[in-house]
Every structure is written in structure tokens, then in C-alpha cells.
Chains A and B, each alone.
Chain A
Amino acid sequence: KNQVEQSPQSLIILEGKNCTLQCNYTVSPFSNLRWYKQDTGRGPVSLTIMTFSENTKSNGRYTATLDADTKQSSLHITASQLSDSASYICVVSGNNRLAFGKGNQVVVIP
């Protein structure tokens, strides 16, 4: 069973609308959690890092949350733009390993 589960697998949203992506993990012990954005045909790029003591962190229109007790993280995209169309990958670090989610595929349409 994958240690990092992301949902929804894919979604389509209208430009200007908000959306929330979910990441649930079982990695233990926990070190940190990163969200990466992967544009089509490109390598993933880090958006934000969440450590055990952090609940919320923003990076422009992206806001990540972490609940270390329930082992859940979310990535909220506000006022989506066409350039937000990408795959968003949750990566959890712990026990000297990285565990990768399969990604949330987001398509923003005009």
C-alpha cells in the first residue's frame, strides 16, 4: 500500500475558482512534507514545505495546511489561473526516505 495517497486523482475547474487538493500519509516517523508542481513536459518544482510544527503556509495563491495528528495535508489554490494547470505531487520525508504520492492532475479551463 502506498504510504502517500492523494485525492482527487484529477479535477477540472473554471478559471478564477478555488480548489483544494488532499494528501494523506502513513509515513512514520515524520520529518517534513513538500508539495511540488509539475507542468506538462517539465520536472517537478517545489512549492512549499511543511514541518511538524507548522499548520498553515502560503506561497502566493497557494496555501498548504498540515495536520500532523491525522497525517493529512491540503493544498488550496485561490483564484485559479490557466497556468495552474499541472500535476501537484505530495512528497513526505521520514525515516531517511521519501514517499511520493501519485499526484493530483488539475486542469483549469477558461
Chain B
Amino acid sequence: NAGVTQTPKFQVLKTGQSMTLQCAQDMNHEYMSWYRQDPGMGLRLIHYSVGAGITDQGEVPNGYNVSRSTTEDFPLRLLSAAPSQTSVYFCASTRGQGEKLFFGSGTQLSVL
């Protein structure tokens, strides 16, 4: 039982490049979400999904895209990377609203 798996662990991009952060969970959780964590800012919600085929915006969605074609996978796409997107990104899953969050190990992204 791997829990929540995120790849890659580290990534460096140039401004304007696009990429996809991968997230997969094996706990059959309906709820999945993406957060970014910046120094002094805490965790901020980017996008979330309450089930396959259903996604919605969080607090800071601009510049990011998501899709949820299966229960297991919830990739995060950066459309055109900007230096302001330099951050640590966490994917999380949970059984439902208010339930315990299970986080991945994070992706440290630098945009030059």
C-alpha cells in the first residue's frame, strides 16, 4: 500500500515551459487535491476533485490545469511556467470532506 505517490521529486523549468506533475493514490479515495507551499504562506489549495470526472478551483488556480479521468490519478499541469510558480507542490487524498488528508512527499519546482 504505497499511499500517495508524487513524481518527480525535483524539477527545474525555464519560463514558458510546460510540464505535468503526477499524483497517484491506491487508497480508493474519492477526494484529491493539489497544494502549493511557500515560505511564510502555509499550504494553499490550487485545484481539487471530489471524484473521477469532477474538478474545481481552489484558492490559487491561475496558471494550473487539472483533470481526473480515474479515481487513482490526479495530474497537475503547468501551462506556461512562470517564476512565481517556484514552490513546493503537494498532492493529497482523503475519503471525504473533513477527513484525514494523506499527502504525497512533494515536488520541489524551480522556474528560472
Contact = CB atoms under 8 A, between A and B. Distances in A.
Interface stretch (B37-45, B61-69, B78-86): B37-45
Contacts, number: 42
Contacts of B104: 43
Interface in A70-110: 89, 91, 93, 96, 98, 100-103
Nearest to B104: A43
B103 interface: yes
B53 interface: no
Nearest to B41: A102
Contacts of A96: 97
A45 B42 contact: no
Interface residues of B, number: 17
Nearest to B9: A41
Count class of interface residues, chain A: 20 to 34
Nearest to B91: A43
Interface string B26-59: 0000000000000011111100000000000000
B43 A49 contact: no
Interface in A20-50: 31-32, 34, 36, 41-46, 49
A44 B40 contact: no
A99 to B, nearest CB: 10
B74 interface: no
A93 B97 contact: yes
Nearest to B43: A100
Given A102-B42, A103-B42, A43 B106 contact: yes
13 contacts: A31-B98, A43-B92, A43-B104, A44-B43, A44-B101, A45-B103, A46-B101, A89-B42, A89-B43, A93-B98, A96-B97, A102-B41, A103-B42
